[in-house]
Amino acid sequence: MNEQNKFKLILISILVLGSIFISYVFIFILETTIVYSHIFYVPTILSCLWWKYKGLFVPILLSTLMLFLPIVQTVGAILSLDNLLRALLLICVGIVVSYLSNKIFVAEMKLKGRVKELNCLYGINKAINNPNSSIDEILNGTLERIRCGWQYPNLACARIIYDQYEYKTLNFKTTPWTLSQELDVYNKMLKIEINYLENIPFRAEETTLLKEILTQIKGIFELKLTWLN
């Protein structure tokens, strides 16, 4: 657990314990349920914002306290309709915040993925558009850039096969979690294969990215072979 997560956990723990203490003061000492539950929204919003749906345990816990502490304080008391509505509202707020936080997280991940894809394509374009580069230099220079364009580059490896020659990253390993595309370049097979070293699903954007990379390499190869001929 990194320092930021530790800080979040400690802060939420303090807020929850503070909420429990204030609940005790209002219910058992002041003998009132007015106003005190409003403070529950602070840990609820923060926990659901930081931990999304996992953070719902906080509003559920606080709602339970809100409902049952008055019953403990007054033996034989029944559930208060006002407290029941407050508890439901608190949980609804938690659900809404969790939903919005999750949507923001997904959007951020897509944006980061798109930036990585663009950087990958830019790096490959820079490598393959050097007129003095040989085919071997292009393929070797492309390999690492391909790997870094994927969602989890530290768990990815890549291999290019062209005209029966194989080029691969140092960490290349054949695994069941593979994504590959191939094209024909003047009757010679050009194939790119990406493998994850762990069971990680490939995104649809990664399939599109691989097709784009393969198309770019094919285009420069055809141009170079045309010059050679």
Which residues of the chain carry a pLDDT beneath 70?
1, 32-36, 72-79, 127-132, 224-229
- In tens, the pLDDT along 64-92 reads 888 887 776 664 455 677 778 888 999 99
Rounded CA gap, 77 and 74, in Å? 6
pLDDT value at residue 164: 78
> Where are the domains positioned within the chain?
3-107, 129-228
Nearest CA among 18, 104, 30, 93 for reference residue 60: 93
